[in-house]
Every structure is written in structure tokens, then in C-alpha cells.
Chains A and B, each alone.
Chain A
């Protein structure tokens, strides 16, 4: 090569050229693929919501969502109502409530705004499921999930996911053996106060047979992720308490 690659001029030009090329390449990829990615994410949300009410293709221990070809149909079939809950527990219908970005809503609440609280009502075999999205912080990055409740706020199904927890440790909140432990756990005390569920170490209940201890067995080596799960259950599900109180009085 005849050009001298060590001069300052060449270095600066190379740097500028590289930034422009790499920048436009990344921007081009991101913008061309965006519709596809958004569509995938939308379907995933529907799959997650349906998953918590038991509409999935799970085997014995694995997690399998219903296929992307069927998800839209099943979603409109089983999810009877999509609601946005107000602070006083009243609600209004919104057929696009599942597209609400919980992250943005949490940021709104932090800046003093009102947070939109989406809730999805599912009907399956005569049973009603009230499905709530939650979001919180794990060890490295965001964690989120969907919890299906009955009218007494007893967990009927749970799904958790994460952006970047350690594979093999915190990432295992996405495993069946962790998520399934939540089923049957109560969020409310006998007197109707909100207590939440704690991911607890050494609760002497590894099979999770006791369903009224407000605890599920923690994962080894994933203390901070587990604490994050407890925290997001406590902070986010609590906001829905007024709705469930209203619902109780309406049903009685």
C-alpha cells in the first residue's frame, strides 16, 4: 500500500468515513427491519398474555407459545375485554390496551403524570382471568412479566421474561419450574390487604406446596433477580387493588 496510513489527516478522514458508513448501515438495517420486529413483538405480547391463562403448547417441562399463525385469532377469541384502569378502580375499554408500553407508563408516573394501567380480561372454560402486565429491574437489565389473577387476586398463571439476566442463573426466571411456583399463591391477606409474593430463600418449601405463605422458592445464584421479581409484583400489582375491590362488590 502506497498511502501512508499513519498521518493525522488520513486517520481523521478514515474515522469520519467509518462513522458515516457504519452509521448509515446500522440506521438502514434498523429502519428496514423495524416493521418486522414490531410485528414480532406485538405477537409476542399476545402470546405472553395467552400463555398466563394456560393457552399454550407446553410440554411437560418446556415453554411453548401458541404458534404465530394462530395467535391473533386466539387472542380475539379468549381475551374478552381490554381495559385501562383508573386510580379509583373504575375502568374503560380500549381495544389496543395490550400495546401500551409499561416502561413508558412507569416513566410517566415517575415524572408526576398519570400512568395508564392496562388489564386484560380473559374467558376460558367459564373461568375469568384478569391479566396484568408488570415490569421491574433485575440484576443487569429490565425484567417484566404477565400475571393472570382471579377475582380474589390469587395467581392463576405467570410469565416472566428478561432483557439480560445471567444465563443459567437469573435468566432462569423464564423457566417453567420458577414460573409455575406462582400458581395458586395469594396476593391479598385474609382481611383484603395487599401483601404480594416474595421470592424467598430457605422458605423450607422447595416443592412449593404451601400456597398461603406469600412466598415462592428462590433460584440459586439469582438473589438480585429474584428480589427484582418480588419488587415488581409488589409495586405494580398493588396499583390494581382498587379495581379488584370494585370487581368484588360488583360480583357480590
Chain B
């Protein structure tokens, strides 16, 4: 990363692992549970949050000296909500197909606590460039967990990846299904996402014991 100083690079790499927004800060759990039944939905959500958090962090950072502290949460909420709505409207007008895919995610993006969390914890106290890197880093950290959870839920729940059957046909009983294997419908339910996130947290903390809180 020749472009970035070591400190700046850390802003991106830290949230990917040791300061991951989902597994360490435990933010954004609600959307991680809701939309990870499919890998494609996880990917779309990851990209959407990347955009919103990257831009939102910069906007909040630019406004950080004029926002009254008493109503800062409301201001943050309004910034993210108007950003998302404007993007949604523009997509509806000029990229209708894409907006159909994203429409379901709009509400989930606005209420994503990672976005509010980064505004509050980072963008309000740092310059725009740093805030931008922090936004990108956290969104990537979020997307990584979403993709891991989505991978296992779609594979074990539906036997597909990105909608493509990889384990054979469950109805015709071909491939792995011929051995008596069955899709686990429970994997499609939100609680299983919580269990997978729990397993990721366990693996991560057993590899790096300094992350364990006492």
C-alpha cells in the first residue's frame, strides 16, 4: 500500500479482522441475520453499505464542526437517510433494473447500526480522508462476515452458491443427495446466522486471545 501511510492503511485493514464491526464491535447484527440466506443478497448488501458508509462518513466528517452535539444522532440519521433516498431515486430514474434489486435493502441500510456507529465513533472526530478510509474499511469488514455467513447458509440450506446448484439436485436425488444427504432448511432461518456469527467469533478469539474481554 504505497499510496497510504501505515496509519491510514490500518484504518482499512483493522476492521477486516481484529476490529471487525460484526464480530468484535457486534454492530450490524440485524441485517447480518436478515439477508444472509443467499450469497448474492450478502454481496449486494456489502456493496451498498460500502457506498453509503464511505460517502456518509465523509459528509459527517465535513460537518463535524458545525453539528450541535445535542442533536448529533438526529443529524446523522438524516444524512444517511437522505443519502440513501436520493441514490434510490436516481437509480429508479436511470437504472431501473438495478434499483429493483436494491429496493429491499434501502430500509436495511438506513437502520444499519454500523453506519451510525462509525459516524458517531469516528467521523465526528476525524478529517474527511481518514473518515473515508475508516468507512471503506468497516464496510469491507462487514461484507466479509456477510459473505462467510451467506456462503454457509446458502450451501447448507439450499445446496446452491449464487443460485447455482453445487451439490446436485435435491428433488431428482443426484450428486451428494443420492447418498441420502438433505438440505438443512433450518439454515435458511435467521437464528442460524446468529449461530454462524457466534462460531466465527469463537474461532477468531481462540486464535487471538487478546480479543477476549474480561
Contact = CB atoms under 8 A, between A and B. Distances in A.
Given A168-B36, A168-B188, A1 B104 contact: no
Given A6-B68, A220-B185, A30 B78 contact: no
Given A5-B69, A14-B66, A15-B71, A166 B94 contact: no
A14 B157 CA distance: 50
Contacts of B41: 167-168, 171
Nearest to A61: B163
A127 interface: no
B90 A29 contact: yes
B3 interface: no
B122 interface: no
B5 interface: no
A221 interface: yes
A40 B93 contact: yes
A190 interface: no
A1 B82 contact: no
A26 B107 CA distance: 17
A165 interface: yes
A237 to B, nearest CB: 25
A235 B107 CA distance: 29
A221 B93 CA distance: 33
B147 to A, nearest CB: 13
Report which residue of A166, A167, A169 has the largest number of chain B beta carbons within 10 angstroms of its beta carbon.
A167
A38 to B, nearest CB: 10
Interface string B24-40: 00000000001111100
Nearest to B64: A1
Interface string A155-191: 0000000111111110100000000000000000000
B70 A11 contact: yes
Interface residues of B, number: 39
Nearest to B95: A40
A106 to B, nearest CB: 21
A40 B89 contact: no
B66 A26 contact: no
A168 B158 CA distance: 10
Interface string B95-128: 0100000011101000000000000000000000
A127 B103 CA distance: 36
Contacts of B35: 166-168
A213 interface: no
B107 A1 contact: no
Interface in A200-252: 206-207, 220-221
B82 A5 contact: no
Contacts of A169: 37, 188
Nearest to B44: A167
Contacts of B105: 167
A144 B65 CA distance: 47
Contacts of A162: 104
A184 to B, nearest CB: 18
Contacts of A166: 34-35, 37, 104
Interface string A136-162: 000000000000000000000000001
A169 B70 CA distance: 40
Contacts of A72: none
A29 B37 contact: no
Interface string A23-35: 0011001100100
Given A5-B66, A5-B67, A5-B68, A164 B96 contact: no
Given A11-B68, A171-B104, A206-B171, 8 more contacts: A1-B66, A6-B70, A18-B78, A30-B89, A166-B34, A168-B36, A168-B41, A207-B171
Interface of A: 1, 3, 5-6, 10-11, 14-15, 18, 22, 25-26, 29-30, 33, 36-37, 40, 44, 61, 162-169, 171, 206-207, 220-221
Interface of B: 34-38, 41, 44-45, 65-71, 74-75, 78, 82, 85-86, 89-90, 92-94, 96, 103-105, 107, 154, 157-158, 163, 171, 185, 188-189
Q: Which 5 A-B pairs have the closest CB atoms?
A: A168-B37, A167-B41, A168-B38, A36-B93, A33-B93
